[in-house]
Structure 1
Amino acid sequence: MTKTVTSTLTLSGRKFSKKELIGIQQTIKTFPNLSLTELAQTICEHLSWTTAQSRNKHNACLDALEKLEKLGLVELPSKRLQKKRESKKVVWTEQSQAKPDIDSSLAELGSITLKVVTDKAEVTLWNEYVDRHHYLSYKHPIGAALKYFIMSDHPQPQVLGCLLFSASVWHLADRDQWIEWDKKDREKRLNLVINNNRFLIFPWINVPNLASKALALVTKQIRNDWQTAHGYRPVLIETFVDDSQYLGTCYQAANWECIGKSSGKDWQDKVDENNRSGSVKSIWVTPLHKHFRAILKNQQPAKAQVDLDESFVNLWGKVVMIISDVAQEFDAKWQKRKRVIDSLLLVFLIFRLVFSNNSQGYGTTIEEFWHNCLRMKFPLPQKKPISASSFSDARKKLDENIFKVLNQRIIAAHDTLAEPDNQSQRWLNHRLFAVDGSKLNLPRELTLKIRET
């Protein structure tokens, strides 16, 4: 006999209301013939309990159901015997064989980049390389994961190694103490910590500082790559270094921090000191966000949650100055006398109209723009909004080439501020600037390259 629900509960990082818990009890009674897997999927659908990519949190739900059963709040169906799934053996081919030794400096390899591995053939090759040349071989990652090839472009494009990032370890005493994490916060925000559980520089690659270079690159781009692949941005990376095999020198050179040791079975909440399943390893971490600790503890002030890196802020500071300077230049071309409506105001209003996607008229857009500027204490020529007809008349006098000039100068500013080796905003080594619905004429060499791939 199941107990009566009397209060809310937090399970598997999710807070369940009394009403939701009663709903789970009713679902289990209504569908007694469902398997545990089908039951978990059904409950996830009822509660809209999904990941950032709208996938049901099936494993988290199963864990919550088991905890509810231990509390006597539900009676789950018996587990059905299933044939144990055998992991598919990785087949080694000639592609992953050792290559001739490369002994060179980092500079001689040209540009070093990280390529996200998603293509089926490349995933197969990545698995082969790791299974064949990594001392821990290949194991299928659990949960969200991201694979990279470490690439160079000189003397020709070539793969130098592999990186894998996946779900973080559930419970790690020294890490949790370093973060000052309690169990409740860890359950809710563990997904914001990811684990670098495979790092391979091929044994035939003898290039000093290559490993630390790859680690430095990944901290710059993995947040965006993870967002693209899994719908959210992590704030901390952890990894384990077996002290009997390695010293962790490359992590130290890349400014990672050693924060303690694993216990051998720290992924469990209850550690059995007499039943360790793994060797003790050093724990290394690197933050991906300057407020990572506050975010993980849910203490981040609302204003500080805006995630803008320094280069982005610097660029927008330049953009504001560019728009102001160009507007003054074009004022001299069409204004015969000082007017309420100048080029700067016209540019901002036109931008605002473009962002509205023609969903409202000029008058409404101008009134909203005026109200927001006054609220933010942005200087305006008068307190009362200008009329839509006045805006239309002035817009006709403004030379449309102002936007070409703005485009050229903003791109030039971006290139000036961008780091020389930053490839994160490039496509086939070309930087693109476009908006939805636009058309792009590609150079012939790029067109041919697309056809080849």
Structure 2
Amino acid sequence: MEIQRQVGRSLRGDLTRLREVLDGAMAQGVHGLGQVADRVCEAFDFRDGRGRWQRASCSAALADLEAAGHVSLPRDRPSRGGARGPRVFPQPVAPAVDVPATVGEVRDLALVWVETDEQRRIWNTLMAHEHPRGAGPFVGPQLRYLVGSAHGWLGGVGFAASARRLRDRDAWIGWDAARRRAHLHRVLGLCRLLV
């Protein structure tokens, strides 16, 4: 949440430059909110700790700026209500074969960071077919991992931004409103676990 605020503050602080970037992107035929956010991230160099574009935070900040009347975003972008769900394969992921009874005997056990479109589809398909809550959607920054092996895919885990306010969590940690705002971006929420 703090990162989204920082992105929003940076954009609000240079609205003239932001409008130029938006106008240039639209003139070049860039229309989807994600593509526009990519252009803005490049222009303002919004990167996370790993050097990746902060697309989700930038998209949310752009939507907030549009709602406040500061900028106009492309009209032909998909609505947030989204008819589009997570992209999955048409068939379930093949079940793992000959999985041993003990973890020590599982061959080539690996936690695989989901980075490619194919990995995302595998993760989404596993969750859609095997997890009671399905594949998502998640909100805010996200991390997904697959549990792989020589026997096949064994499961997955997904993390996303934590809830903004949880009375019991905040009390246990000892957060007041100011401390929560300052540190919430360091807290992960476990959203899916499938083994």
Does the alignment reach a TM-score above 0.5? yes
**Which residue identity does 1:75 align to in structure 2?**
V
| Matched length | 177
C-alpha displacement at 1:111, in angstroms?
A: 2.0
Could you tell me how far apart the structure 1 residues matched to 2:190 and 2:21 are?
43
Aligned residue in 1 for 2:52 = 55
| Equivalent residue for 2:6, pick from 14, 18, 43 | 14
Could you tell me how far apart the structure 2 residues matched to 1:129 and 1:85 are?
18
- Sort the Cα spacing of 1:80 and 1:196 in 2 relative to 1 into closer, same or farther, 3 A: same
Aligned residue in 2 for 1:310 = none
**Which residue identity does 1:92 align to in structure 2?**
P
C-alpha displacement at 1:14, in angstroms?
A: 1.1
- Sort the Cα spacing of 1:127 and 1:38 in 2 relative to 1 into closer, same or farther, 3 A: closer
**Which residue identity does 2:190 align to in structure 1?**
N
Aligned residue in 1 for 2:193 = 199
Q: Is the 8 A contact 2:96 2:154 kept in 1?
A: no
Q: Is the 8 A contact 2:170 2:176 kept in 1?
A: yes
1 or 2 for the larger relative contact order (CA 8 Å, sep ≥6)?
2
C-alpha displacement at 1:164, in angstroms?
A: 0.4
Could you tell me how far apart the structure 1 residues matched to 2:63 and 2:148 are?
42
| Equivalent residue for 2:142, pick from 138, 141, 144 | 144
Consecutive unaligned residues of structure 1, counting only runs of 5 or more, are 1-9, 152-156, 202-453
Aligned residue in 1 for 2:111 = 116
C-alpha displacement at 1:28, in angstroms?
A: 1.1
**Which residue identity does 2:18 align to in structure 1?**
T
Q: Is the 8 A contact 2:41 2:47 kept in 1?
A: yes
**Which residue identity does 2:133 align to in structure 1?**
L
- Sort the Cα spacing of 1:58 and 1:173 in 2 relative to 1 into closer, same or farther, 3 A: same
Aligned residue in 1 for 2:131 = 134
**Which residue identity does 1:169 align to in structure 2?**
S
C-alpha displacement at 1:162, in angstroms?
A: 2.3
Aligned residue in 2 for 1:96 = 95
Aligned residue in 1 for 2:174 = 180
C-alpha displacement at 1:171, in angstroms?
A: 1.8
Alignment of 1:369-408 (within 5 A): none
**Which residue identity does 1:145 align to in structure 2?**
L
C-alpha displacement at 1:86, in angstroms?
A: 4.6
Could you tell me how far apart the structure 2 residues matched to 1:11 and 1:43 are?
15
Could you tell me how far apart the structure 1 residues matched to 2:43 and 2:127 are?
40
Aligned residue in 1 for 2:15 = 24
Q: Is the 8 A contact 1:167 1:191 kept in 2?
A: no
C-alpha displacement at 1:51, in angstroms?
A: 1.3
Q: Is the 8 A contact 1:12 1:188 kept in 2?
A: no
State the TM-score, normalizing by the size of structure 2.
0.60
C-alpha displacement at 1:97, in angstroms?
A: 7.7
Q: Is the 8 A contact 2:21 2:43 kept in 1?
A: no
**Which residue identity does 1:171 align to in structure 2?**
R
Q: Deviations over 1:293-314 (max 9, x none)?
A: xxxxxxxxxxxxxxxxxxxxxx
- Sort the Cα spacing of 1:61 and 1:135 in 2 relative to 1 into closer, same or farther, 3 A: closer
- Sort the Cα spacing of 1:183 and 1:42 in 2 relative to 1 into closer, same or farther, 3 A: farther
Could you tell me how far apart the structure 2 residues matched to 1:31 and 1:125 are?
34
Could you tell me how far apart the structure 1 residues matched to 2:161 and 2:92 are?
29
Could you tell me how far apart the structure 2 residues matched to 1:79 and 1:86 are?
21
Consecutive unaligned residues of structure 2, counting only runs of 5 or more, are none
C-alpha displacement at 1:145, in angstroms?
A: 1.6
Q: Is the 8 A contact 1:51 1:57 kept in 2?
A: yes
Percent identity, aligned pairs only, is 17
Q: Deviations over 1:149-198 (max 9, x none)?
A: 287xxxxx757952403212342423234333455655554443223222
Q: Deviations over 1:81-113 (max 9, x none)?
A: 4484354344125x328989x8x7xxxx26278
C-alpha displacement at 1:59, in angstroms?
A: 2.5
- Sort the Cα spacing of 1:78 and 1:129 in 2 relative to 1 into closer, same or farther, 3 A: closer
Aligned residue in 2 for 1:80 = 76
Could you tell me how far apart the structure 1 residues matched to 2:133 and 2:85 are?
18
State the TM-score, normalizing by the size of structure 1.
0.31
Aligned residue in 2 for 1:237 = none
Q: Is the 8 A contact 2:127 2:194 kept in 1?
A: yes
Could you tell me how far apart the structure 1 residues matched to 2:166 and 2:17 are?
38
- Sort the Cα spacing of 1:64 and 1:53 in 2 relative to 1 into closer, same or farther, 3 A: same
Q: Is the 8 A contact 2:146 2:153 kept in 1?
A: no
DSSP-derived class of the 1:64 partner: helix
- Sort the Cα spacing of 1:140 and 1:159 in 2 relative to 1 into closer, same or farther, 3 A: farther
Could you tell me how far apart the structure 1 residues matched to 2:127 and 2:164 are?
26
Could you tell me how far apart the structure 2 residues matched to 1:165 and 1:159 are?
19
